[in-house]
Structure 1
Amino acid sequence: MITLTEVHKKYSSEVTIGPVTLEIPTGGITALVGPNGAGKSTMLTMVGRLLGIDSGTIEVAGYDVTSTASKDLAKIVSILRQENHFVTRLTVRQLVAFGRFPHSKGRLTTTDEEIISRSIDFLDLAELEGRYLDQLSGGQRQRAYVAMVLAQDTETVLLDEPLNNLDMKHSVLMMQHLKRAAQELNRTIVIVLHDINFAGHYSDYICAMKHGKVVQFGTPERIMNDEILSEVFETPVQVIDGPNGPLAVYY
């Protein structure tokens, strides 16, 4: 479980996050949604301790992220930020191996190699593991980064807009992979999404944010309704019955 209690972060007199009090359940996918500037990525990076908080507490699996040693926290929670991505002369396997650093400190064991291979296979990258990152398509490269995070083998995985720059096909494939990871690998995945319909279809919980605060939190069945989405996105939204569940239509 991820627990935020009265979390507050102030950038300026105009930009403030919180106070946020929230419990994200263990297991499944929780999507953070909301308009630009709502505080989604900021909250994610605070949970991952890549950004400090001014006040309050954040706990992941009972560990206080502000006081837990980095070497221990790295075995509890992993995070992938969209701006951390880089293209270099690393192969897919070499990149994924970085996920084992908190465990191996650079000296890979047989167990590490097995986990690396398992993560590569899970993201359907086996045929590409010897290829360099700059030889991959955007969708393939994105899968390689997610495989690296999965190889870190943490119960909690934080992903900041992993669908960014992916087309529709690769966005669907990525969400299918993440859904499998949550279900088959028992991961708790918290993901920042811009597309409310991806959140509604693939997530188990939706956290809707606006102006640096949590406006609504609940299952997709609860959040996917006209009134809530229109309030959150400040534009008229109608939720209709689609072939695979509710769909939000903007007009």
Structure 2
Amino acid sequence: MIEVRQINKAYGTTKVLDNVSLTIPEGGLTSIVGPNGAGKSTLLAVVSRLLKADSGTVSVGGLDVSQTADHVLARKLSIMRQENHIAARLTVRDLVGFGRFPYSRGRLTAEDEKHIDEAIAFTDLGAFTDRFLDQLSGGQRQRAFFAMVLAQDTECVLFDEPLNNLDVKHAVSTMKLIRRMARDFGKTVVLVVHDLNFASAYSDRIVAMQNGRIAAEGTPDEIIEEAMLERIFDTPFAVTNFNGKRIVDFYS
């Protein structure tokens, strides 16, 4: 479980997070949606301790994020950031092995190798194990970073806009992997996503943000609704049902 209590974050006079309180239950996939500048990525950065809040508290699995040692938190919580740049020339296996650092401290054991093998197999990267990252396509490289996060084997996993710069095929593939991570491994998965249709199709729960606050939260059926979306995004939407899922379109 992730518990956020009265989090505030400002840059100068601009409030980015305004007294945000949120509970994300254990297990399943929660998507955070909202217009640009709503505070979605900032909230994820605060939860993962990449960014310090001005006030408020965050706990993950009962641990106070601000007070927990790095190596302890890294066994409880992992994050795949929006931008992943590694200067060193690494193979896929090298990168995935980094996910085991909180356990191995750089000296991989047989147990670490098992997790690495499982993560590579899960992401279907077996044929690319010894290939360098700069030899991969964008979608393949994204899966390699995904495998690194999976190998870290944390209870809670955060993804900050994992579909950025991916074509439709790779975006669908990535969302299926994230959905399977939550379902097959029992992870608590939280992602920031712009595409409302992906949020609708794959999420157990959706949190909508607006102007640095939580505007609404609930099931996809509760959030992917015309009046609700218009209030959050300040533009009209058309919502239809298809195969049990709600599909969003803009009014032209």
Taking structure 1 as the reference length, what is the TM-score of the superposition? 0.98
Deviation string 1:50-72 (CA, Å, 9 cap, x unpaired) is 00011111111111101111111
| 1:8 equivalent in structure 2 | 8
Q: How does 1:1-251 map to 2 (within 5 A)?
A: 1-86=1-86, 88-251=88-251
Distance in 1 of aligned mates of 2:25 and 2:221: 16
1:37–1:211 Cα contact (<8 Å) kept: yes
Q: Percent identity?
A: 53
SS at match of 2:163: coil
CA offsets per residue over residues 148-191 of structure 1, 9 Å max, x none? 00100100001111111100011001111111111111111100
How many Å separate the matches in 2 of 1:85 and 1:194? 22
Contact kept, 8 Å, 2:16 with 2:38, in 1: the verdict is no
1:134 Cα deviation from its structure 2 partner: 0.4
Deviation at 1:87?
6.0
Runs of 4+ in 1 over 6 A off after TM superposition: none
TM-fit CA distance, 1:88: 4.3
* TM-score (structure 2 length as normaliser): 0.97
**How much has 1:83 moved relative to structure 2?**
2.1
SS in 1 for 2:100: helix
Equivalent pairs counted in the alignment come to: 251
Report Cα offsets for 1:32-58 as digits up to 9, x if no partner: 101111100000010000000111111
Q: Select between 144-153 and 81-90 the one with higher mean Cα deviation.
A: 81-90
Residue by residue, what CA displacement relative to the aligned partner does 1:72-122 show, whole Å, maximum 9, x if unpaired?
101000011112333642000000000000000000000000000000000
CA root-mean-square deviation: 1.0
* SS of match in other structure, 1:19: strand
Given that residues 230 and 236 in structure 1 are in contact (C-alpha distance below 8 angstroms), is that contact kept between their aligned partners in structure 2? yes
| Structure 1: gaps spanning 5 or more residues | none
Q: Partners in 1 of 2:50 and 2:64 — Cα distance?
A: 14
Looking at structure 1, the residues matched to 187 and 146 of structure 2 have their Cα atoms a distance apart, in angstroms, of 13
Could you tell me how far 1:244 is from its partner in structure 2?
Answer: 4.5
- Amino acid paired to 1:159: F
Secondary structure class of the residue paired with 1:15: strand
Tell whether the 8 Å contact from 1:97 to 1:151 is kept in structure 2 after alignment.
yes
Name the CA distance, whole Å, in 2 between partners of 1:192 and 1:98: 23
Q: Distance in 1 between matches of 2:32 and 2:85?
A: 20
Name the stretch that deviates more: 232-241 or 38-47: 232-241
- The 8 Å contact of residues 175 and 202 in structure 2, kept in 1 or not, is answered as yes
Counterpart Cα distance in 2 of 1:16 and 1:150 = 30
